Structure 1
């Protein structure tokens, strides 16, 4: 990720924390030394584990390798909704193989993205996204692993597919960015909502209202690094070590101690992903 702004300074430590969704490859990591350096920076401020996410097939293969390089790294594998048109037979076979790996703790990120079609060259059309989403739902069921959902401007479409296909036992809405109505739907269904640095953005009024509705045992926190760096560092490169900034911003929104949120979200992530501390 290119950014003219320097990286944020390390925050005051806040422990324990688990980054429920990051992209180590997009953060510039290419080998084991890079991964270790990122995790060392994260651990220095209390982030003890991360789940690195795949957007395409190559990234899925890399994510599994990264999880083998460092015991603090876990992987999730899928084709991003905007790349759903690449889900051919060979891709399906490879994703099934990778999903069986013990370091793969979720199927994702998959789902629906209705923002990019028509704006991004080569972006999968909604019908292609829907078909791929249904296939990933089935993969999550067959492997018994959580389903991690990407939802952009697609609340109704995502809910429609989940109802039509039947949701897996564990569903995570990564980088939840919708309003209170969608939050209620998810909470009532027993799904987890993962909040990112967007909760700190000044224009995120609906999201802050939604955050108040999330029960402690259905809440996760994430960076989505290198994207969505929390205020006041928005636009700077994000990394897992920045997670305490988001948690402290969330604590102000919900009126609870940051330490309590750190403890609850780390326990939720460990339970959901099967992470052993």
Structure 2
């Protein structure tokens, strides 16, 4: 077997670390198509201590699927929005569908939305920054109207994201998914009371700015996520990610913070239950 094929083998299930909640994953992109697929992914996750996940939509089809999947298994919750790179698809019909889905009791956040200044000009059909800003503002308003957390995607867009949030007025709860910025952005978010969700990137040795920012994050403003099937933590980078891999990220985070992984698991799970309102619908 070649080194490339070996690298693409799924990581082994890690030593369990509980309780954990995967604050941001994409079950459909992990290959789930139906209730049996979802149950299998969540059973693997449970074997590693992951008790629940929030599956995220990035287009209209994924939004419909995520809301439906949240009814298939009590360990699954959902978030709905159009990804910023698809902001040019936010038609009146799309807005109506997302508004309807956002009212679903197991849809616990509006997201992922925000700004992505990396892909315009690189990806054919990618929404331009002006379209992204308009869509981001609309999602901010939806989060306010529904009273649900706003989940932000931010790639190469620190200043733009902050500008839109300040211009529109941030909703009560804001989550920066897969936070990958440096200390200055971390401080700006922390000062506003926003939450920072950390993914497998915290285990990457070249993520120096992020690793310097992580110790600044208060325990009650920190979440953990896989963003599966992307961002598989070291030493499995390049292999397919799944919610069961979350303990690898948490143990890497524990090394950065010099804090017990068990403590991080307990604190981030408590925070996820609080900010997503899971306590009222926990099964």
Give TM class, smaller chain.
over 0.9
SS at match of 1:20: strand
**TM-score of the superposition, structure 1-length normalised?**
0.99
Work out the number of aligned pairs and report it: 276
Say whether 1:124 aligns with 2:124: no
Say whether 1:160 aligns with 2:174: no
Task: Give the Cα–Cα distance (whole angstroms) in 2 for the partners of residues 105 and 180 of structure 1.
Answer: 28
**TM-score of the superposition, structure 2-length normalised?**
0.96
Matches for 1:47-196 after TM superposition, within 5 Å: 47-196=50-199
Q: CA deviation at 1:3?
A: 9.5
Show the counterpart of 1:229: 232
Q: CA deviation at 1:274?
A: 1.1
Unaligned residue ranges in structure 2 (runs of 5+): none
Show the counterpart of 1:255: 258
CA contact (8 A) 1:3 1:235 kept: no
More deviation, 75-84/3-12: 3-12
Q: CA deviation at 1:4?
A: 6.1
SS at match of 2:108: strand
Task: Give the Cα–Cα distance (whole angstroms) in 2 for the partners of residues 263 and 254 of structure 1.
Answer: 15
Task: Give the Cα–Cα distance (whole angstroms) in 1 for the partners of residues 225 and 187 of structure 2.
Answer: 20
CA contact (8 A) 2:20 2:51 kept: yes
Task: Give the Cα–Cα distance (whole angstroms) in 2 for the partners of residues 55 and 171 of structure 1.
Answer: 17
Query: Where in structure 1 do 4 or more consecutive aligned residues deviate above 3 Å?
Result: none
| 1:55-89 deviation per Cα after TM superposition (whole angstroms, max 9, x unaligned) | 10000000001000000000000000000000000
Task: Give the Cα–Cα distance (whole angstroms) in 1 for the partners of residues 130 and 79 of structure 2.
Answer: 24
